[in-house]
Structure 1
Amino acid sequence: MEDVKIDSSLSFGGYNWRVLDKQNDTALIITENIIEHRSYHDAYKEITWADCALRKYLNGEFFDKFNATDKSRIIPVINKNPDNPWYGSKGGADTQDSVFLLSIEEVVCQYFGDSSSKLHNRGRNQRYWFERKDENNCKRIARLEVNKGNIWWWWLRSPGRVNVKAVYIHGDGNIGIQGNNILKGNLSDGKCTGGVRPALWLKL
């Protein structure tokens, strides 16, 4: 594992992952592809990451799919959950997570290029989106694991403009900072809800 570098790929627990960060003998990794469809929560109600059904699933049923050796390499971390920077909706309490979704700040400012100027300097006509021509959009595009030819939108853990929505990455890589419906996602997609790209800190 000594050759692991940022932006390299690795195999772990039956999935392919992308390395987002490396600190000493640990790495932050995210699945290369969207591995499944899931709603953010199982009821249409105001919710934050701390209490949502998707967090419970990732740290419960999903985590339990790993064998004992792999589990021992996954490092629990404390995640900050800031309020939505445009709308002020509550991000909720800090959480201890073994597996998690990335926040809008992590995706926009750190690991997929730096679009922080667009996050912190909202344009007068920007209501729901960043600029569609954001140069970093291409870095955020994700494909479905089951059909790698299809791109899809994927969840972040941050709240949308209200707490019945959560921020997401559109299929074209743009930031849906207003959020999608936590239960049904984008209603026009019918039964297909948001994509899930788990992230975790791994002991190398």
Structure 2
Amino acid sequence: MQDFTINSNISFGGYEWRILDKKDDALLLVTEVIIDQRSYHDAYEDITWADCSLRKYLNGEFFEKFTDTEQQRIIPVTNKNVDNQWYGTNGGVDTEDYIFLLSLEEVCKYFGDSTMLLQNPKKNQRYWFERKDANNSKRLARLYDKNGDWWWWLRSPGRLNNKAAYIHGTDGNIGIQGNNILKGNISDGWCTGGVRPALWLKV
């Protein structure tokens, strides 16, 4: 296999992707920038990644944007959707995905290693992941054709199942308490969360 470098970029399907991991002949990719703004779900109700409208969009309409040849290179994977480690909120069942969002565990692992901070919250840390984590800045992402950074969704639940975890757009901190899953839409002028799709690509 070609010597792909972790954290370098490659082009695929009309997008620039960052390489987060590589195993045998496959790469874990996430889009370098936020490519869209969407709500996590289309109703304000308890939901998990398995049944949310954003998952349906990514594995349906978004996946269909790739050519047949490109689709054949996208590897379906089983994603573990664990409970929120701080609140015990239900993460839902395992899912079979072509396209997905990163989890709390994955953003702590792949954007510098902050896994121990995730597993050992400080006494007064109830709403935000470690604000002084040296890896926070690595999670910042620009909003497609805009100059500024924006907040973006994770697939993990927040403190309630009508909230989903996210990455803050100002400092890259992890909003482990979550943000409301239904945030309106762009035409309404509401602040919708950024979408950075992830996938495993055959190389």
Smaller-chain TM-score range? over 0.9
Residue in structure 2 matched with residue 127 of structure 1 by the alignment: 126
Q: Which amino acid aligns with 2:30?
A: I
The separation in 2 between residues aligned to 1:116 and 1:66, in whole angstroms, is 33
- Pairs within 5 Å for 1:33-72: 33-72=33-72
Residue in structure 2 matched with residue 179 of structure 1 by the alignment: 178
Q: 1:166 aligns with which of 148, 155, 164?
A: 164
The separation in 1 between residues aligned to 2:183 and 2:86, in whole angstroms, is 23
Q: What's the offset of the Cα at 1:174?
A: 0.3
Residue in structure 1 matched with residue 114 of structure 2 by the alignment: 115
The separation in 1 between residues aligned to 2:116 and 2:99, in whole angstroms, is 28
Residue in structure 1 matched with residue 148 of structure 2 by the alignment: 150
SS at match of 1:152: coil
Q: Which amino acid aligns with 2:161?
A: N
TM-score computed with the length of structure 2 as normaliser: 0.95
The separation in 1 between residues aligned to 2:122 and 2:34, in whole angstroms, is 30
The separation in 2 between residues aligned to 1:124 and 1:9, in whole angstroms, is 38
Identical counterparts, % of pairs: 70
Q: What's the offset of the Cα at 1:39?
A: 0.2
Is 2:18 the counterpart of 1:18? yes
Cα deviation digits, residues 162-181 of structure 1 (max 9, x gap): 00000000011101000000
The separation in 2 between residues aligned to 1:131 and 1:105, in whole angstroms, is 14
Gaps of 5+ in 1: none
Cα deviation digits, residues 113-148 of structure 1 (max 9, x gap): 11122211111111100222210001100001121x
Aligned length: 198
Q: Which amino acid aligns with 1:159?
A: P
SS at match of 1:201: strand
Q: Which amino acid aligns with 1:180?
A: N
Task: Give the 4+ runs in structure 1 shifted more than 6 A.
Answer: none
SS at match of 2:92: coil
SS at match of 1:22: strand
Is 2:191 the counterpart of 1:192? yes
Q: What's the offset of the Cα at 1:48?
A: 0.2
The separation in 2 between residues aligned to 1:23 and 1:93, in whole angstroms, is 24
SS at match of 2:2: coil
Q: What's the offset of the Cα at 1:192?
A: 2.2
